Structure 1
Amino acid sequence: MASIGVVGSDGGDRSLADRSAESLTATPADARRLGRARRVAHLLDDAVRLPVVGYRVGVDALAGVVPVLGDTLAALLALPVVWEAFRLGARKRTLARMLLYVGLDLLVGSVPIVGDVLDAVVKLNRRNVRLLERDLARRD
């Protein structure tokens, strides 16, 4: 069984985040799937560095400024991460938890101001990728 490593502030596993997609997957196609999931999570949670403060936010937090529609769009954009996890053979429990996070992000993100702040601080898409990476590492 693989060593899990240090848990980061986003609930993710830092040692798994640093591992290449190839080291966590069995085939080049699976490595591309994991790479896509990582890129989507980065786009949704960390794509833009805020000037002056230097904090990173993504499309999820920016879209949340538009009530309901923006959060719905962000939730739809988060589903490819779950889809790639399904294609990679993630366990049902992992997939259910990932869908729960997408639903919570939609629900909480729809609350004006509070939801926008939580979208910027709680990086649920990045957390979903960490869940997938842990699931893949368990196969070792």
Structure 2
Amino acid sequence: MERSTALAPTPDAAHDLARVERVASWLDTRYVIPGTQVRFGLDSLIGLIPGVGDTAMLLPSLWIMAVAYKHGVPKRTIAQMGWNAGVDYVVGSIPLLGDLFDLFYKSHRKNAALLRDALGQRTPR
């Protein structure tokens, strides 16, 4: 049975969401390329390590999905998170093209937004 799309926020959910958003920021948008508006994070840097980087960055994605599951996020939303992580992993694994792709496809931020929407939280300003 599918759960409702917006869950009642709890203090525990708010705390976990804040942690997820903080980690997603570090992984996807922590730094900016000077003179541009292009943001990147540790995912882009660690993804430069052939064979290991993209696999290592799959672990935080799985953690975000586990947090979503813990808070009763609908399976459909968790599947979308899995899709985002899978696209990031598969395309990010392609030499050079994948590294460029990582600069623009922010899977962790997308998944944090999906979690925030599912938990009915407001976007922090």
TM-score, structure 2 normalization: 0.83
For 1:105, what is the secondary structure of its paired residue? Answer: helix
Aligned partner of 1:94 in structure 2 is 77
Separation in 1, partners of 2:74, 2:36: 39
Shift of 1:109: 0.4
Separation in 2, partners of 1:115, 1:47: 19
AA paired with 1:112? P
Separation in 2, partners of 1:41, 1:122: 12
Shift of 1:77: 2.3
Shift of 1:133: 1.9
CA contact (8 A) 2:13 2:71 kept: yes
Aligned partner of 2:9 in structure 1 is 26
Q: How many residues align?
A: 115
For 1:68, what is the secondary structure of its paired residue? Answer: coil
Are residues 112 and 34 of structure 1, via their aligned partners in 2, closer, same or farther at CA, if it must alter by over 3 Å?
same
Ranges in structure 2 where 5+ consecutive residues have no aligned partner: 1-6
Separation in 1, partners of 2:28, 2:73: 22
Ranges in structure 1 where 5+ consecutive residues have no aligned partner: 1-23
Aligned partner of 1:115 in structure 2 is 98
Aligned partner of 1:81 in structure 2 is 64
Are residues 100 and 91 of structure 1, via their aligned partners in 2, closer, same or farther at CA, if it must alter by over 3 Å?
same
Shift of 1:128: 0.9
Shift of 1:132: 1.5
Aligned partner of 2:118 in structure 1 is 135
Taking only the aligned residue pairs, the percentage that are identical comes to 39
Q: Report runs of 4+ in structure 1 exceeding 6 Å deviation.
A: none
Shift of 1:87: 1.3
Shift of 1:54: 4.7
Kindly report the root-mean-square deviation, in angstroms, between the aligned alpha carbons of the 2 structures: 1.8
